[in-house]
Amino acid sequence: MAPERKGWLLYSPGLDRRDEDEDLSPYAFRLWFPGAIEKQFQKFYRYGAVRVIRPVLAGFLLGFMAFGISDFWGMPNSREQFWWIRYGVICPLYALALYLSFQPKWYRRLPEIVALVFLIGGLGVVSIGWIAQSDESSYKSYAQGLVFIILGVQLCRVTFWKATVVGWAVTLAYLLTTTMWQLPTYGIPTKGEIAGSLFFLSFINIAGMVMGYSSELSSRIDFIHRRALVYERRKSERLLKNVLPQEIAYQLKRNPEAIAQEYDDVSILFADIVGFTQLSERLSPSELVGMLDEVFSQFDRLVEEQGLEKIKTIGDCYMVAGGVPKPKVDHAIEMVRLGVRMLRCVERFSQEYDYDLNLRIGIHSGSVVAGVIGRRKYLYDLWGDTVNTASRMESHGTPGRIQITCVTHELVRSAYDCESMG
């Protein structure tokens, strides 16, 4: 199975499992998520913003370069001074930000870099008020260039609050320039013109804030939907892995056809609880199921520790295989070791809860056919004489003992002392 796309970063190892199915919708409208989820969103948002940032930066870089040509006619007296700001500071900064947008190691800081570049670009436009002369044709209209800065930083999907700060900072800089320098020095623009420009820029800021808020809100809702989708998919995968071996589950997802494989060297174990029928007569249904669940859950833990594969349970019978679907050299030895641990487990359980329980265990080694058939209620199962023989070893065995065949004995006699049954 292909790994989860790292680009989306919808999950991280440190995320609390209890938060996976939490309803995050109310937080989206507040533009923040609790704890580690907000960090995840910021990563998700930055990776998605890169594709928007690049064309916007490229457009502004070309725009600043092109407007330098218009300075030739609009600012004939002070164009050379402003060209130093435009081509010596602003354009190189936009070019640098554009370059960094192609460097993955800078993705984490890219929104802050973009916000800073737009702030400097806005202050550069404001600086016209300090440099330009009142008789130049572009003198009164330069404030209109701030519109592009205010909307551009919101368009770049910089987080809402950062973009908002940049927009109002540029507007404040314009206010200070007009009231502290232009009006006292040249008497123009007039107070009415300043008020009109401020009203216009304030309106643009509000429009930009609405645009930025809507953009980030849309991204947060998209993040919630993607996260919920991944969570549901992982939950279904966990359920599938509880029914099927992991390798078979992956294979079935890729190709939902009947799966059948032959294995020449495996071991099969059957374990049956002795006295279960008598016990079921004096226990309530809930107590009986609870007892079976606890015993079989302990068996599941032992099977996982031994690197074996639980196949199924049939009533009070428990079936395990070694060497499928992954080949295992010491499958017989591990299977006998599992049987010993299962006997000890049932013995401890009986003493702790005062139940008269015991196990019959049978093991045989040989070849089997393993696979998944059907389209509903998937079950990974084994077929062949090896399975039948292992079942007979269990049903004809002795309670509290492990009965194995001659084939299995040959595989384990170097590790275990065995007694012949004749």
Q: Which helix or strand (DSSP H or E) is residue 365 part of?
A: strand 358-372
Q: H helices then E strands: how many in the chain?
A: 16, 6
Q: Burial letters for 380-411: b for 16+ Cβ neighbours within 10 Å, e otherwise?
A: bbbebebbebbbebbeebeeebbbbbeebbeb
DSSP 2: P
DSSP 103: -
C-alpha 270/C-alpha 243 separation (Å) is 18
Can 69 be counted among the known catalytic residues? no
Among 37, 149, 268, 272, which one carries the catalytic annotation? 272
* Coil/strand/helix, residue 310: strand
Distance from chain centroid for Cα 357: 45
Q: How far is CA 105 from CA 47, 49, 101, 108, 118, in A?
A: 11, 15, 9, 7, 21
With tokens 């218009």, the residue in question is: 70
C-alpha 7/C-alpha 24 separation (Å) is 21
Among 316, 333, 361, 404, which one carries the catalytic annotation? 316
Under a CB-based contact definition with an 8 Å cutoff, are residues 106 and 113 in contact?
yes
C-alpha 97/C-alpha 56 separation (Å) is 11
DSSP 21: T
Among 204, 273, 361, 402, which one carries the catalytic annotation? 273
C-alpha 257/C-alpha 236 separation (Å) is 19
C-alpha 108/C-alpha 287 separation (Å) is 55
Can 90 be counted among the known catalytic residues? no
Strand bridging mode 317-322 / 358-372: unpaired
Phi, psi of 105 (to 5 degrees): -70, -15
| Tokens of residue 203, six digits | 């309106």
C-alpha 198/C-alpha 195 separation (Å) is 5
With tokens 């206010």, the residue in question is: 175
Can 273 be counted among the known catalytic residues? yes
Q: Which residues are catalytic?
A: 272-273, 316
